[in-house]
Structure 1
Amino acid sequence: MKLKRFGAPLAILAAAAISLTACASNEGGSTAATTSKAPSNLSGTLNGIGSSAQGTAQTTWIAGFQTDNPKVTINYDPQGSGAGRTSFISGASDFAGSDAYLKDAELAMDFKGCAAGTKGIDLPVYISPIAVAYNVAGLTDLKLDADTIAGIFNGSIKTWNDPKIAALNSGATLPSAPITVVHRSDDSGTTQNFTDYLAQNAPTVWTKPASQTFPYQVGDAAKGTSGVADATKNAKNSITYIDESGSAGLSIAQLKVGDTFNKISAAGAADVVAKSPLATGRPANDLAIKIDRKNTDKGAWPLVLVSYIIACQQYSDAAKASLVKAYVDYVASDAAQQAAAQQAGSAPLSKDLASKVSTSVATIK
């Protein structure tokens, strides 16, 4: 069972495990990822802002972490990746959730909550396939390739029975209705990953570079994962791109990868990430991943996002550093990753990547 998205801040207050479980249940049935160790003496408050794609996973992680650390309060507000990075850089939050790693221009800024002269580092904690989800009565098993997706979302393919869609869906009943495109209105890491996939795989159709804001004037816009999900559910003959965890109630297109059409798969997304290199030219202990969007291995899903917790390499407040280190190290643990997989449909970090995250987290001061 998957948790609902929500726009209000997450504020799971320090309380007994029963209270935490009840709070998670009210949000849609989250099961805390707990361990058997005795509660710690860590105390304090952490505030995070960012990725709405991480929302369900953050709910699950916070509940599990606070079961073991009942004196800690963690708040997470899923305003979107761009808002998360901006808030973190300005010092308005202690960490950010982001579906895109820090850009060079952002790394050149002054990080107000970090020790003087130090920067934020990107720590991958959440892997999820991006779904091309649609709401068309009677249409199942839709098949799309990168060029056709690009044509739909740039507005050049305008109706569902367009010859380019029909050619990929022999025997399907395609309505003559106009396509309603739904895209993100906010600065979104999901948009960054979606447009990066199209820029690399359909460059003659998608002529814009990868961007965290949707680059074409087409269709309807909505904020956040829940916003585009609701807009697509409420509009007949509509289509959107969305983190798979938010796609419940919508149909999901198959994606042409190489010569085959693949169904969406967290395992296929995880395999693509595992085979992708780290980005070069990054700060020490930064684990930004350069996703291989052209992976055509069997079952691969290269339309994938890697979402990060962005933390200071060194905090100006040592107490915050201790809390962040403990929380992110927990998030990267197998227990927390498996819990997020159960609730959000995400792919657990590989052992190798989880180990790299843990090693980087240990350097936070």
Structure 2
Amino acid sequence: MKVLSLGRTAAVLSASALALAACGSDNATGAAAGTDAAASASTASGTLTGAGASSQSAAMDAWIAGFNSANPTASVQYSPDGSGAGREALLAGGVQFAGTDAYLSDEEAASSLEVCGPDGALHIPAYISPIAIAFNLEAVEELNLDADTLAGIFRGEITVWNDPAITGQNEGTELPATAITVVHRSDESGTTENFTEFLAAAAPSVWTDEPDGEWPAALSGQENAQGTSGVVSAASATEGAITYADASAVGTMGTVAVKVGDDYVAYTPDAAAKAVEASTPVEGEGRPELDMAMELARDTTESGAYPVVLVSYHLYCTAYEDQETVDLVKAFGHYVVSAEGQAAAADAAGNAPLSANLQEQASKALDSIKVAS
């Protein structure tokens, strides 16, 4: 069994990536506003290395700034390489935690036993965020679309903005005959996995591919880009483009209100949190007792719920090689899920803070992390 310590070199993180993570990321923010140093201070020391979800970039910058200012002998470095890359790095023993918008598969959970000890890896929710479906059409700020129409657009079967399937749900909105350009992630992405889970659950007769962190290869003729900032940049530069991304990153592009039941629901942190309330725990071998991975109800008809949502996790080992690493992991983990850390992320990224119940569960799970025996 391999267990992670502070002394190990994070081989998967290049020196340049670490330098960028320390200074900021592609969605950089300043220090967390309103940080209470006394509330987050600890005796933690050393350097904690992480990698993973680019959707967490804005929130991570705020967490790092708040944590580091309260813990001057500790630092956190994070490389926003994508959820899949983050999980791979943790399972290879290259980083001490991963940010991921998709929980470990059963195969990955089994692999975590080798690097993380007999109880494997532990999912801790970091925040709840809507995935915005964002488009670039001049003078159009919001559209109403149901799941079947969205699936048809992203499969390339609905190809112009004035298609009757779109105009019929948007009376009074003048839509052009502009071609629709789909922009999707080129890297393995938790955002992609969450988005395709929604399409497969809510529009199964149209979206016939299995949910996956990689965009279906059979859907050719579409644009792609690396990371959250990449798809947003590409879509922002292309008239008629549509993409999906963490809501904190879409900027001034127009966004879609998704039909849920009889109503169209715009993305908001509260609407995303409401969808998460219907979640159930992920079960399976190789998952620790206090693991918090969640199955989301993508086909909910709950009034006011926005089902195109992700729970962004921090993935930790249940055991590390030495007490210094355990103390640092716990200190950072507790800061992230605290009221202070959640407020910092919400200010930076516009996500929905964890509920008091989820914060309590997360704290209990973090307390279970120990030194490997």
Q: What residue number does 1:176 align with? A: 177
Return the offset for 1:36. 4.3
Match of 2:334 among 329, 335, 342: 329
Q: What residue number does 1:151 align with? A: 152
Provide the alpha-carbon RMSD of the alignment: 2.0
Looking at structure 1, the residues matched to 229 and 20 of structure 2 have their Cα atoms a distance apart, in angstroms, of: 19
Q: Say if 1:229 and 1:254 are closer, same or farther in 2 by CA, change over 3 A.
A: same
Match of 1:305, as an amino acid? Answer: L
Q: What residue number does 2:297 align with? A: 292
Q: Does the aligned pair in 2 maintain the 1:273–1:292 contact within 8 Å? A: yes
Q: Does the aligned pair in 1 maintain the 2:185–2:224 contact within 8 Å? A: yes
Q: With structure 1 as the length reference, what TM-score do the two structures score?
A: 0.91
After superposition, residues 63-74 of structure 1 pair within 5 angstroms as 63-74=65-76
Deviations 1:76-101 (A, max 9, x none): 11000000000000011110000001
Looking at structure 1, the residues matched to 90 and 186 of structure 2 have their Cα atoms a distance apart, in angstroms, of: 21
Match of 1:308, as an amino acid? Answer: Y
Do structure 1's residue 257 and structure 2's residue 224 form an aligned pair?
Answer: no
Match of 1:364, as an amino acid? Answer: I
Match of 2:180, as an amino acid? Answer: I
Match of 1:229 among 229, 232, 238: 232
Looking at structure 1, the residues matched to 195 and 339 of structure 2 have their Cα atoms a distance apart, in angstroms, of: 28
Do structure 1's residue 239 and structure 2's residue 248 form an aligned pair?
Answer: no
Match of 1:59 among 61, 66, 90: 61
Q: Does the aligned pair in 2 maintain the 1:278–1:290 contact within 8 Å? A: yes
The farther-off stretch of 40-49 and 80-89 is 40-49
Do structure 1's residue 338 and structure 2's residue 343 form an aligned pair?
Answer: yes
Q: Say if 1:80 and 1:155 are closer, same or farther in 2 by CA, change over 3 A.
A: same
Return the offset for 1:112. 5.7
Q: What residue number does 1:104 align with? A: 106
Deviations 1:6-43 (A, max 9, x none): x9446676xxxxxx9xx79x944342552242853321
Looking at structure 2, the residues matched to 289 and 218 of structure 1 have their Cα atoms a distance apart, in angstroms, of: 34
After superposition, residues 88-103 of structure 1 pair within 5 angstroms as 88-103=90-105
Q: Which runs of 5+ in 1 are unaligned?
A: 1-6, 14-19
Do structure 1's residue 354 and structure 2's residue 359 form an aligned pair?
Answer: yes
- Classify the secondary structure of the residue corresponding to 1:73: strand
Q: What residue number does 2:131 align with? A: 130
Do structure 1's residue 163 and structure 2's residue 145 form an aligned pair?
Answer: no
Return the offset for 1:279. 1.6
Return the offset for 1:278. 1.5
Match of 1:325, as an amino acid? Answer: K
Match of 1:97, as an amino acid? Answer: G
Q: What residue number does 2:7 align with? A: none
Deviations 1:264-295 (A, max 9, x none): 11101011112312122343121001111122
Q: What residue number does 1:81 align with? A: 83
Deviations 1:118-163 (A, max 9, x none): 4111111111000110001122321111000000001111111111
Q: Does the aligned pair in 2 maintain the 1:128–1:305 contact within 8 Å? A: yes
Q: What residue number does 1:3 align with? A: none
Number of equivalent positions = 349
Looking at structure 2, the residues matched to 256 and 10 of structure 1 have their Cα atoms a distance apart, in angstroms, of: 43
Q: Which runs of 5+ in 2 are unaligned?
A: 1-15
Deviations 1:25-77 (A, max 9, x none): x9443425522428533210000000011111111011111111110011011
Q: Does the aligned pair in 2 maintain the 1:127–1:348 contact within 8 Å? A: yes
Do structure 1's residue 199 and structure 2's residue 200 form an aligned pair?
Answer: yes
Looking at structure 2, the residues matched to 86 and 12 of structure 1 have their Cα atoms a distance apart, in angstroms, of: 18
Looking at structure 1, the residues matched to 131 and 37 of structure 2 have their Cα atoms a distance apart, in angstroms, of: 34
Q: With structure 2 as the length reference, what TM-score do the two structures score?
A: 0.89
Looking at structure 2, the residues matched to 219 and 67 of structure 1 have their Cα atoms a distance apart, in angstroms, of: 44
Identity across matched positions, percent: 44
Match of 1:242, as an amino acid? Answer: A
Q: What residue number does 2:271 align with? A: 268
The farther-off stretch of 177-186 and 32-41 is 32-41
